[in-house]
Amino acid sequence: MNETVGEIDINTDKKILTELEINNDPALWPSMSETVREKCIQLGPAYFQNKNNGFSASLRDYKNQKSNSSMNPFVKNGFSNWKKGDERISGHENSSVHQLTKQLEVEENYWIDILKRVVEAVRFLSTRGLAFRDSHEVIGVTDNGNYLGILDLIAKFDPVLKAHIENYGNKGRGSVSYISKTICEELIGIMSLKVFDHIVDDIIKYKYFGIVVDSTPDLTHIDQLSIIIRYCLNGMVHERFLGFVSFHSHTGEALATTVLEFLKRSGIDIANCRAQTYDNAANMSGRYHGLQAQIKDLNDLAFYVPCVAHSLNLVGDCSAKECLEAINFFSILQKLYAFFAASTHRWDVLLRNSKKSSKTLKSLSTTRWSCSNDAIEALAGNYNVIYNTLSDISKDINENSDTRHDANSIKKKLIKLEIAFMTIFWKHVLGRFNATSVYLQRIEIDMVTGNSMLQSLITFVDELRNDFDAIEDEAKILSTSVNKEWSNGRKNKRKIIQKYSDGTTGHESLKGRDTIRVNTIFVIIDKLQTELKKRSSAYDNITNLFGFLTRLDVIDDNLLKNSVNNLVKVYSRDLEESLYDELKQFIGMVKVKEDNKLIKNPINMLQMIVEDNLSGVFPHIYVALRIFLSIPVTNCESERSFSALTIIKNKYPCMMGESRLTSLSILSIECELTMNISFENIIRQFALEKSRKKRKKGNCFSYNKLSNSPNPNIYHI
């Protein structure tokens, strides 16, 4: 006999009621008649309780099939008989399943507390590039390394960690403590991967990027390739380190294969690369077979931009080797440093004679002209002191004959007006070069600004021709010991008859002042200008394309239209001609705000678009600015990564593997991200695995290898 409610037969609407029973969300119910709706109300909510809800996964994991608790509705199928709610809930709270779950939560919270301290110890050491381990792995001894030492220090003030170490510390293999070197190494890998994934996610999200690559051999004589990505994020320019990759072949093709495989494994599409910056080495910058040419073949919009800072170094190096007098000057500068640095006694004598605020002598560098600037500034600031110190040493009978001879030899050179003049001349030149180089190394600098700085140096160097007299006067007062006349100077110029007569009457040989002016200073200035113009021409293409974005406050409509057309023609895949209309409106909006600084600085423009949420109003301006600002100006970030490489892979742990090297390098170089990123999910997953006792052999943590990770030994949770 069918059960009826009023005049409705339940079996008549069985199908609808079944569907309602499956979906306990009313929003997902099918359409129904009024009679069915009345039926649902009469049956009540208990009838439609979903019996298949995943209400407590942990209870199901731990239920005992042989016990009576397996019949508990809280464990088996869920609970729907609310009339017996108090009785069932009370019985459930006293059941073994519930007690086990409570114990599980206590265990999990305990390991969370311990792992928080371990993670912070790893974070502290890695961000500072400090070593983790030493010769012993025993808590309480002095040579157990920084990692165990920090945990031991924290335990002195933290009762939780102190109790844990007393209960689990120094138990040896087979005893789980979560403070062992195995856990430490796994945390390093997983934390670095989280930072790496954070960077890659940002790169993919904001699409356009520039790539910076440089290489150096480490202490084990393995070539390491440093890969940096430049991109715009929330109106700010970032240059992020992705990792070191070892390589063996130095050809452009091999380098391209290494870089492209790394990007592919990282999930970064080379098609979105809009610029590439390397040093001026042929295997990197070669236009036919270099790395830049290989990438340009795959992506014609990945324009190559030589490192501006490296170009300035090359300009200074070429100019310093252009004439014999310049070579001799820098040779004397290095000999001066070597003479004092070779003896602690002589160095101490120099320091005692110098002012406390003055700069000490510096050694020259074959790669960094900032060192040459520091050396020249130290000489110019202590010229008289250095001369007097050399004079005292040359007369000191307590010194050996070689020392006295060397001091007298250098002293005789410093007394010459030519050396004093070269000191002042190079002080002016390298002072401007160094200040410009330091300015261009800032991440927020764009390529148009970088090229304009090179042009300003060309103008500055050219004006030095007219400053010869002023430099000469400054050199004469550099020290009271400096000669006031040029060496071998003659007022009259002698004539030299040509050895092989060609019909001429002979030519005049310059002497003294005119010699250094014409044959030295003007030669150096000509070389500086030639090299600067040649190097700056490499940036003309980018400057011509994007330069108008820095002159929107003064540009006329015709020039703006032509500039937009040229830019859209090159970046036809990214931009449209509506960019012109957007710029017109954008300029008008800025004029209303009466803040012309916004349209003079591309970063300010991008920040305003992001902060005011105007990317939907000016989409193509937004894209154009991101492309422009993703073009690297220097590869200084890769150079800085080599400093971290030297610290991390020093002479003690020099045999560390590539996986650990990359992990520690990411955590150290991207220390700002490492400090700000939350590792709470890692900690909780570790604690959950420990409390459930599901440790796998050789692994304390259940995670799988990341298929697209650039490092095959880095893991994902």
Residue 637's CB: how many other CB atoms inside 10 A? 22
Closest CA to 517 of 466, 474, 476, 462: 466
Q: Which long-range contacts (CB under 8 A, 24 or more apart) does 77-81 make?
A: 77/51, 77/52, 78/49, 78/50, 78/51, 78/52, 78/53, 79/49, 80/46, 80/49, 80/51, 81/46
Q: Report the run of H or E that residue 716 belongs to, with start and end.
A: strand 715-716
Opening angle at CA 169, ends 164 and 173, nearest 5: 130
DSSP 4: E
Contact in structure between 70 and 62 (CB atoms under 8 Å):
no
Contact in structure between 240 and 683 (CB atoms under 8 Å):
no
What is the model's pLDDT at position 17? 57
HEC-encoded secondary structure of 505-547: CCEECCCHHHHHHHHHHHHHHHHHHHHHHHHHHHHHHHHHHHH
**DSSP E strands, 10-105:** none
How far is Cα 512 from Cα 488, in angstroms, rounded to an integer? 6
What is the model's pLDDT at position 55? 43
What is the model's pLDDT at position 506? 52
Question: What pLDDT digit, counting tens, does each position of 266-275 carry?
Answer: 999 999 999 9
Question: What pLDDT digit, counting tens, does each position of 421-457 carry?
Answer: 999 999 999 999 999 999 999 999 999 999 999 999 9
Residue 40's CB: how many other CB atoms inside 10 A? 18
**DSSP E strands, 293-354:** 303-304
What is the model's pLDDT at position 60? 47
Ranges of residues in the chain with a pLDDT under 50 are: 1-10, 51-69, 490-493, 694-708, 712-717
What is the model's pLDDT at position 590? 85
What is the model's pLDDT at position 101? 73
Closest CA to 475 of 367, 366, 380: 380
How far is Cα 163 from Cα 179, in angstroms, rounded to an integer? 13
Quote the tokens at residue 627.
């492309």
Q: What residues contact residue 146 under an 8 Å CB cut-off, 6+ apart?
A: 125, 130, 131, 132, 134
Opening angle at CA 241, ends 449 and 634, nearest 5: 25
**Where are the alpha helices (H) located in 157-180, listed in sequence order?**
159-168
Residue 374's CB: how many other CB atoms inside 10 A? 20
How far is Cα 145 from Cα 155, in angstroms, rounded to an integer? 16
Quote the tokens at residue 384.
């008289």
How far is Cα 275 from Cα 252, in angstroms, rounded to an integer? 17
Tell how far CA 117 is from the center of its chain.
27
What is the model's pLDDT at position 41? 74
Quote the tokens at residue 667.
């955590």
How far is Cα 89 from Cα 253, in angstroms, rounded to an integer? 70
